[in-house]
């Protein structure tokens, strides 16, 4: 059930601006983290893979071409997304979010397991999506994606806005789902999350994958971190 | 009448006030049934369906075409009205389904284009109904069970069918509330109102949901058509009136909110009846004064949600 994602030469253009200029990336047996500064095209890559913005090139999930399918069909092909901004549904309660995507039968992720994993959501099950804190929305967005039991899940900065202790919990959850065989493409600004979950980290610079480095190496090398993630301004 | 102790004049005026108010309420009931379909379609698809009044007419005309021969026959006469309602709902729902699947679904998100296409459709539908059924006004006979007046306190004799309109509107309102809040389809529809793209990313077949909701909204217009044509004679031209009314009701109440539609229908129904009593010459203006006031003070409508 693990999905193998092959992205080849993916381009995204908005009018005259080219946001993605030939992204190539493989996500297979192991989770892959992608890091990069703001505005480098990470979120656009996620949206393009999910069919939310038009893209050219190729992105195949287990051999099936995703680009041009449309969001609904991409999702039914086995992709799920935890999008930037969480995009939980304000009019739906926590429990209704889970009912919306929960599957019949005996899948790895069930509503009970979500509540076990995130007890906070169980406490808030009757609250509306617009009544949740940022961290709770984040947990809900993650749960919503996991409950689809996808072959591969794209997570766009799942640690954003989470308290440090919850970030530790998140890292544990991400490791677990990767071990259980769900493909994981993790977009992060938080270096600790990126390097704890994946063995290799790809670095995105101006719409391309500029380099792929080992997590251990990146965690050690301050100079490397500054070059790709440093918040230097004015160039 | 049991109010012998009161001054006759006072009794008459109280009776008058209550009667006009009840008239407004029954009119509001019809408006709610029709406008709730309009609001449902707009809420999920952001489609301003300018052919909604035409769907109302389709319901009435096709319903009558099925009803009329049945009513004339001896065997089916007692069920003719119910069968007419079913036919009216079905016909409007099918036309709505065709509109969404064959035409509007291809231009999702292009509101102006959709508005123009539905205006074109409303012209075509009106002419086709004229060609098929002719221009003579017609009216369903009120079914026996709902025929005639009943005695109400203070008001006195009042047509049963008008009271039935209120009951039906309440039933439609409760039905829609249950559908939206207690079913899986309701969860899907509310999620789609919030964020269609994210709903698709959850693996939901959004075009299928859109077609279902469009058929449902159109079916409500068809139901309204048969009810309306039982309460008053039906003739060509009512499509524009009911489209305009639907627009005003949902603008006042708040787009895409069932509670808002109920409130808007109530306000507009009462305003029309009281306007005709208080200043007959300018009563039409009152509706639009209410709309303009609401737009100036609550641009989202009285119960509408602010866009996020």
pLDDT tens digits, B98-110: 999 999 999 988 9
Asked whether residue A5 carries a pLDDT value surpassing 90, the answer given is yes
Query: Is B202 within 8 Å of A148 when comparing Cβ atoms?
Result: yes
pLDDT in tens, A103-122: 988 899 999 999 999 999 99
Q: What is the mean pLDDT of residues B188-202?
A: 94
Burial A139-150 (b: 16+ CB within 10 A, else e): bbbbbbbbbbbb
What average pLDDT does the segment B109-113 reach? Answer: 91
Q: Return the residue matching tokens 């071990």.
A: A179
CB-based contact (8 Å) between B201 and chain A? Answer: yes
Band the pLDDT of B250: cuts 50, 70, 90: very high
* Cα–Cα distance measured from residue B135 to residue B66, given in angstroms and rounded to the nearest whole number: 17
| Contact B180/A at CB under 8 A | no
State both tokens at B5. Answer: 């102790």
Residue keyed to tokens 């002419």: B127
pLDDT tens, residue by residue, B18-77: 999 999 999 999 999 999 999 999 888 888 899 999 999 999 999 999 999 999 988 888
Q: What is the pLDDT of residue B281?
A: 87
Query: What are A174's two structure tokens?
Result: 């991400």
Which residue in the set B201, B204, B207 is minimally distant from A50, CB to CB? B201
Count CB atoms within 10 A of the CB of residue B127: 11
pLDDT at B161: 95
Q: Look at residue B13 in the predicted model and tell me its pLDDT.
A: 87
**What pLDDT is recorded for position B11?**
64
Is the CATH number of domain A5-87+149-229 3.50.50.60? no
Does the structure show a pLDDT above 70 at B8?
no
Q: Per the structure block, which two tokens stand in for A28?
A: 């297979």
Q: What percent of chain B has pLDDT over 90?
A: 76
Token pair, residue B98, equals 């065709």
* pLDDT of res. B306: 63
Is the CB of residue B307 less than 8 Å away from at least one CB of chain A?
no
Band (pLDDT 50/70/90 cuts) for residue A38 is confident
Domain ranges of chain B: 28-236
Q: Please report the pLDDT score of residue A230 as a whole number.
A: 67
Q: Which of A198-207, B70-79, B167-176, B213-222 has the lowest mean pLDDT?
A: B70-79
Cα dihedral A166/A171/A176/A182 (nearest 10):
110
Amino acid B284: pLDDT: 82
Selection from B29, B63, B233 nearest residue B139 by Cα: B233
CA angle B275, B278, B279 (to 5 degrees): 75
pLDDT band at B3 (very low <50, low <70, confident <90, very high): very low
From the candidates B203, B211, B307, which should be mutated to test the interface with A, based on the most A CB atoms within 10 A? B203
pLDDT at A235: 37
Q: To the nearest 5 percent, what fractions of chain A are helix, strand and coil? A: 40, 25, 35
pLDDT tens track for A162-212? 888 889 999 999 999 999 989 999 999 889 999 999 999 999 999 999 889
pTM: 0.88
Tokens matching residue A172: 């544990």
**Chain A residues near any Cβ of chain B (below 8 Å):** 50-52, 70-72, 74-76, 80-81, 83, 87, 89-92, 96, 99-101, 129, 144, 148
**Buried (b) or exposed (e) across A185-196, using 16+ Cβ within 10 A?**
bbbbbbbebbbb
Whole-number pLDDT of residue B7? 53
Q: Between B187, B190, B204, which is nearest A72 by CB?
A: B204
Tell me how far apart the alpha carbons of residues B248 and B286 are, in angstroms, rounded to a whole number. 12
Interface touch A52/B187, C-beta < 8 Å: no
Closest residue in chain B to residue A87, using alpha carbons only: B198
3-state DSSP percent of chain B in helix, strand and coil, to 5: 75, 5, 20
What is the ipTM metric for this complex? 0.93
Residues in Cβ contact with B6 at an 8 Å cutoff, skipping those fewer than 6 apart: none
């Amino acid at each position: 059930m693990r999905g193998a994602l092959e992205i080849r030469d993916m381009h995204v253009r908005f009018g005259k601006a080219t946001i993605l200029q030939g992204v190539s990336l493989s996500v297979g047996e192991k989770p892959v983290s992608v890091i990069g500064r703001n505005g480098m095209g990470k979120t656009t890559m996620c949206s393009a893979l999910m069919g939310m913005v038009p893209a050219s090139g190729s992105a195949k999930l287990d051999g099936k071409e995703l680009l041009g399918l449309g969001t609904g069909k991409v999702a039914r092909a086995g992709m799920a997304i935890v999008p930037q901004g969480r995009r939980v549904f304000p009019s739906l309660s926590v429990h209704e979010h889970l009912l919306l995507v929960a599957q019949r039968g005996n899948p790895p992720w069930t509503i009970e397991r979500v509540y076990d994993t995130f007890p906070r959501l169980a406490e808030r099950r009757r609250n509306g999506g617009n009544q949740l804190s940022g961290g709770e929305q984040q947990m809900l967005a993650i749960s919503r994606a996991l409950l689809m039991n996808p072959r591969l899940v794209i997570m766009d900065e799942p640690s954003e806005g989470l308290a440090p202790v919850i970030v530790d919990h998140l890292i544990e959850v991400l490791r677990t789902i990767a071990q259980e065989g769900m493909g994981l493409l993790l977009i992060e600004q938080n270096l600790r999350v990126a390097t704890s979950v994946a063995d290799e980290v790809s670095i995105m610079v101006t719409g391309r994958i500029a380099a792929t480095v080992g997590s251990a190496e990146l965690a050690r090398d301050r100079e490397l971190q500054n070059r790709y993630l440093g918040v230097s301004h004015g160039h | 009448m049991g109010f012998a102790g009161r001054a006759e004049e006072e009794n008459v005026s109280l009776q008058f006030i209550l009667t006009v108010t009840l008239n407004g309420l029954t009119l509001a009931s019809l408006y709610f049934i029709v406008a709730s379909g309009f609001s449902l379609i707009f809420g999920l698809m952001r489609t301003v369906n300018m052919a909604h009044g035409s769907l109302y007419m389709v319901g009435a005309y096709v319903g009558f075409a099925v009803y009329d021969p049945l009513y004339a026959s001896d065997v089916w006469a007692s069920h003719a009205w119910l069968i007419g309602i079913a036919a009216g709902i079905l016909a409007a729902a099918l036309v709505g389904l065709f509109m969404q699947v064959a035409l509007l679904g291809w231009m999702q998100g292009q509101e102006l284009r959709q508005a123009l296409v539905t205006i074109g459709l409303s012209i075509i539908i009106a002419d086709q109904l004229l060609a098929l059924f002719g221009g003579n006004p017609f009216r369903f006979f009120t079914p026996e069970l709902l025929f005639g007046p009943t005695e109400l306190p203070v008001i006195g004799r009042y047509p049963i069918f008008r009271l039935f309109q209120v009951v039906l509107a309440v039933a439609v309102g409760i039905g829609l509330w249950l559908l939206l809040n207690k079913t899986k389809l309701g969860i899907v529809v509310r999620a789609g109102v919030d964020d269609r793209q994210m709903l698709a990313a959850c693996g939901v077949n959004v075009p299928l949901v859109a077609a279902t909701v469009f058929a449902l909204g159109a079916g409500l217009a068809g139901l309204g058509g048969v009810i309306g044509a039982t309460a008053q004679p039906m003739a060509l031209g009512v499509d524009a009136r009911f489209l305009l009314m639907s627009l005003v009701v949902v603008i006042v109440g708040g787009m895409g909110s069932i509670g808002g539609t109920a409130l808007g229908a109530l306000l507009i129904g009462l305003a029309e009846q009281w306007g005709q009593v208080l200043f007959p010459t300018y009563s039409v203006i009152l509706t639009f004064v209410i709309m303009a006031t609401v737009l100036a003070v609550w641009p989202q409508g009285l119960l509408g949600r602010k866009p996020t």
